[in-house]
Structure 1
Amino acid sequence: MEHQAAQRRARKPTDRNLPDSIEDLVIGEGVKQYNKLREMEKRLDATMMRKRLEVQDSMSRHQKREKTMRIWISNTCSEQPWQMSQNEEENVAFDSLGEPKYRVEIKGKLLEEPEDDSDSEDDVDSNGKEQEGAAKNSKERLPSSRPFTFFFKALKVEFDEAFMGDPNYNIAWKKPPTHTPEQDFDHFTFQRKSDENMNVNICLTRDEQPERFKLSPGLAKTLDMIEADRAEVVMGLWDYVKAMGLQEDDERRTIRCDENLRALFGVDTISFPQIPERILPHLLPLDPIRLPYTIRLDKEFHENPEPTVYDIDVRVEDPVRALYLKMTQNPQHQTQLREIAELDDHLAVLVQAIHHSKARHDFFTGMANDPVGFCKKWMASQKKDLSVILAEAEKGDFSGLEFAKGGKDGVWNTDLVKEAVRYRMAKDDAAPLPPRR
C-alpha cells in the first residue's frame, strides 16, 4: 500500500507554471494576472516559512519573561491584655482570661501590566456604556493569573533564636511531588500564642521549570550570570569557547582550557560533550527569598494597622507562546491547510491540461501552416526515435558503430562490461534450480 501511494505521489503533477507564449493564445490579461499571483505566492511562502521557523525556534527555547508579584504580610491578634476593657480587668480573674494569640496572613498576587488607555476618551459616549463594554471585554481577554503558591515550592517562617528549639514555632510548607494546579492557593495563614512583638523571616523557595541554579563564583564570573538553567550554562560556555577561540584545529570537539576554564574543570583540555556533566558541582540551589516582618501585638499598631508589602520578580511563561500553541494546534488550522493543499493539487492538474492543450495546438498549427514540411519533420523525428529504441544507426550516423566494433579496443573489452558479465553470471548461479519432474 505504501509503495502504491508513493507511485501515485510520483505521478502527481507538480508544475504550476504556464507554458511559454501561452499569452498569445489567451484573450485578456488572465496569464499576466496568474503570473503576478504566482510571484506573490512565492513571496508569501517564503515569509510564512521564515515565520514558521521563528515560531519553532521560539517554542523550543522556552523563553520566559519577568513579572511582578506583590506580597502582603499582615497579622491580627486576640486575647491580648490591652484588648480587655477596664471593667473586665476588674471583674474577671486573671486566670480565667484566654491565652493571647496572633494570626499571620501572607497573600500574593501577580500584578497585571497596565493597559494602554491613551485613546479611551474617544471611545466613551455620554452614558458611558461603551467604556463599560470595553472594560468588560478587556477583562474577558485577560488570562487568569497563576495562584501565589504556583511560583514557589517551599515556604518557611524563621523565628528568633529564642524560639528555634520550640516545635510549636516550626512553620513550613512544601509542595508535594504529586502536586496539581488545583491545589495551589493565594494566601497562607498560621496562628500561634504570644503577647510580645517578634521579628520573623519569611523564606520563599522559587519553583522554576526548567530548574534554575545559582552559579558558583568561578562559573558566574566566566559567564557573567548569577543564575541560569543547565541549557543556558552549556550554551553560555559554548559561546565563550567560540569567542575566545579555544577549539582545537584538528578536533573541534576538544576545548583548550584557558585560565577561567582551568579553574572550573581542573584540566588543560576537555571534550565539549563532557561539559554538561562537569558543570554539575558548580550548579548550586537557589537562595530563598527572605522577607523580614515584625509581628506587632501592641495597641498603637492595631489602632491603624497596615500590611507590609513586598514586590518580587517571578518568571512566567511568555503569553505569545500560548498564542503560538493555539495557532499550531488548532484543528481548524489543519483543516484549512488540507483544503489549500487540495486546491494546489487541483491547480497543478489544470496547468498540466493547459500544457497538453498547448502542445496539441502547436502540433495542428504547424501542420496547417506547412502540411508537407511538417509531415517530413514529423516522420524524421519518429524515425530517429525508432532507431534509438532499436539501437540501430541511421545512414550517415556513426553513433551506433561504437557497439559494433570488437577486438581489444572495442567497448566489449572494457572493465565495465566484464564486471557486468560477472554480476550477471553470479546472479544466474545464485538462482535456485528448477524442480525435477
Structure 2
Amino acid sequence: MDGHKAAKRRKLTDKTLPNVILQNPDFAEDSQMYQSLLEMERKLDWTITRKRMEIQDTLSRNPTTTRTLRIFVSHSVSGQPWQAGTEGDNLTNPETGESIPAWQVKVEGRLLEARKDKGPQRKFSTFIKRMMVEFDRDTNVYPENNIVEWPRATGHHNPPLDGFTIRRTGDVPTNIRIVLYLDHFPEQYRLSPDLSSVLGIKEESHLGVVQALWNYIKIRGLQDKTDRRVIRSDDKLRVVFGNDTVQFQKLPEFVKRHLAPPDPLILHYSFDPSLPIPEPERPRAWDVEIKLEDAALKNRMGVMLHANKEISTTLAKMDEEIALLAQSLHNSHLKRTFLQSFANDPAKFIQTWLESQSRDLESVLGAGASEGLSLRQEELRRSEFFRLPWVEEAVSVQEGLRLASKGM
C-alpha cells in the first residue's frame, strides 16, 4: 500500500502540470535542468517503489538472525557439615528439616549483545521447548526424583522464567546431565546422511533446505532443457530421490522425507557438596547458537514502509506549491505568446483576433456557419469601425514596440 505513494504523488503532480509544459514548449526545452529533474524524479519514484516491494517481500518471510545464547550452570549447598563446623556431630532434625544436608542447581541463560535489542529482553525459558535434568545418584539411597522434566506450556500459570532452580537433599558427589531442546525460528531440522552429504549442511529449516537443493540443481544444470518442470538426478541425487527424474513441484515433498527433529543440546555438570565451594566460584558457561526472528531489522524495515506523517504532509505541501508555480508559468507563457504575436504583426493579430471573436459571436447568436465573414465584412463597410478607441491604442502600442526595438 505504501509502495504506491511515490507513484501516486508523481501522478498527482503530472495532473496538476499543464499540458503545455508536458509537451515541451519553447521555454521549457531551453531549461535542461527542469527536464533532468523530471527524469530523475521518475527514476527515484521507480527505485523507491521497487525497494518497498522488496522490503514487503522480505517482511512476509520474517527476517531471521543467528544469536549466541550463553547458558550458565551453578550450584549452592546448605546444611553441610563443613558449613556449621560440625563434621563429627549429627545435629540434623528430620522432623523440621533443619540442618539436613542439601544442595541446589541453578540453570540460567541470556543472549549476548543484548544491548542491540531495544525492546524488553526475552526470558531464558522462551528459548527452550523442553528441558530434562538427570541426576546420577545411587538409587538405593535416593530412589526417587532423579529425573526432572520441564515441558514449556502457555498460560498464566506458566510464566516465562529467567532460570530454573532444582533443590535436592544429599552430601555425596553428584553428576548432572542437562538435556535442552532449543526453540529455533524458523524450526530447524536434522538432515539425513544422504541429503547432508549432497548439500553439505547438517541442520537447517525446511525452506532453507529447499533453497540449498535448488541452488545445487541450478549449479549442476540438472533442470531439463525442454521441460523445465523436470529435474534430472545425478549420481548423488539419485540416492536421495530414488528416481532418475523428479517433478519440480515435488521437491519440498522429497526434502521433507529426509528431515528429522534436531539433536538436543546436552550439558554435563559435576560437583561435590561435601567440599567447600571456592570463593569466588564462577558458574560454568556454554555458548550455543540459536536462530531467532530479527525484530530489530523488521522494525527498521517497517519504519521505511510506513512513511512519517510529517514527511507526507511536507510532500503534499510541496506538490501544491509545484502545481501553483506550474500554473503561474502556464499563465506567463500565454501572456508572452499573446504579446509576442501582437508585437510581430499587429494587423494580422487584430485580424485573427476579430475573426475568432466573430466566430464566437455567431455561435452564441446562432447566425450559422459563415467562417466569421458575415459580421466581419459588415464591420469593414462602416468607417466608424476604424475610429473606435482601440485603434489609437493599437497604433500607440505598435509605435512603442517599434521604438523599443530600435533602441535595442
On whether the aligned pair clears a TM of 0.5, the verdict is: yes
1:105 matched residue in structure 2? 106
Q: 1:263 to 1:90 in 2, by over 3 A?
A: closer
The 2-side partners of 1:187 and 1:95 are apart by: 30
1:254 matched residue in structure 2? 230
Counterpart check, 1:65 vs 2:65: yes
Select the structure of larger CA radius of gyration. Answer: 2
Deviations 1:355-388 (A, max 9, x none): 4653564355335423666768999xxx9xxxxx
Residue type of the partner of 1:365? Q
The 1-side partners of 2:272 and 2:206 are apart by: 43
Residue type of the partner of 1:260? K
The 2-side partners of 1:215 and 1:14 are apart by: 61
The 1-side partners of 2:32 and 2:44 are apart by: 18
Q: 1:206 to 1:84 in 2, by over 3 A?
A: same
Q: 1:305 offset after TM fit, Å?
A: 3.7
| Correspondence list, 1:21-420, <5 A | 21-22=26-27, 34-35=34-35, 37-38=37-38, 41-42=41-42, 44-45=44-45, 48-49=48-49, 51-86=51-86, 89-90=88-89, 92=91, 98-112=99-113, 142-160=118-136, 166-176=143-153, 178=154, 183-301=159-277, 305-318=281-294, 319-329=296-306, 333-334=308-309, 336-337=311-312, 339-341=314-316, 343-344=318-319, 347-348=322-323, 350-351=325-326, 354-355=329-330, 358=333, 361-362=336-337, 365-366=340-341, 368-370=343-345
The 1-side partners of 2:181 and 2:197 are apart by: 24
Q: 1:203 offset after TM fit, Å?
A: 1.4
Unaligned runs of 5+ in 2: 1-10, 360-408
The 2-side partners of 1:91 and 1:226 are apart by: 55
The 1-side partners of 2:327 and 2:26 are apart by: 15
Q: 1:100 offset after TM fit, Å?
A: 2.5
Q: 1:364 to 1:93 in 2, by over 3 A?
A: closer
User: Is contact 2:70-2:110 (8 Å) kept?
Assistant: yes
2:362 matched residue in structure 1? none
Residue type of the partner of 2:237? L
The 1-side partners of 2:281 and 2:352 are apart by: 110
The 2-side partners of 1:24 and 1:104 are apart by: 82
Three-state SS of the structure 1 residue aligned to 2:290 is: strand
The 1-side partners of 2:323 and 2:197 are apart by: 60
Deviations 1:151-207 (A, max 9, x none): 21111112338659955122111111x358x92221110112222112112111111
Residue type of the partner of 1:52? R
Q: 1:45 to 1:92 in 2, by over 3 A?
A: closer
Structure 1 vs Structure 2 CA RMSD: 4.1
The 2-side partners of 1:61 and 1:295 are apart by: 46
User: Is contact 1:101-1:193 (8 Å) kept?
Assistant: yes
Residue type of the partner of 1:344? D
Unaligned runs of 5+ in 1: 1-7, 26-30, 114-138, 384-437
The 1-side partners of 2:254 and 2:45 are apart by: 44
Q: 1:140 offset after TM fit, Å?
A: 11
TM-score, normalised via structure 2 length: 0.69
The 2-side partners of 1:24 and 1:372 are apart by: 30
Identical residues among aligned pairs (%): 33
Q: 1:303 to 1:41 in 2, by over 3 A?
A: closer
Q: 1:175 to 1:365 in 2, by over 3 A?
A: same
TM-score, normalised via structure 1 length: 0.64
Q: 1:40 offset after TM fit, Å?
A: 5.2
Three-state SS of the structure 2 residue aligned to 1:286 is: coil
Three-state SS of the structure 2 residue aligned to 1:232 is: helix
The 2-side partners of 1:54 and 1:102 are apart by: 55
User: Is contact 1:202-1:292 (8 Å) kept?
Assistant: yes
Q: 1:268 to 1:372 in 2, by over 3 A?
A: farther
User: Is contact 1:18-1:351 (8 Å) kept?
Assistant: no
The 2-side partners of 1:36 and 1:356 are apart by: 23
2:363 matched residue in structure 1? none
1:20 matched residue in structure 2? 25
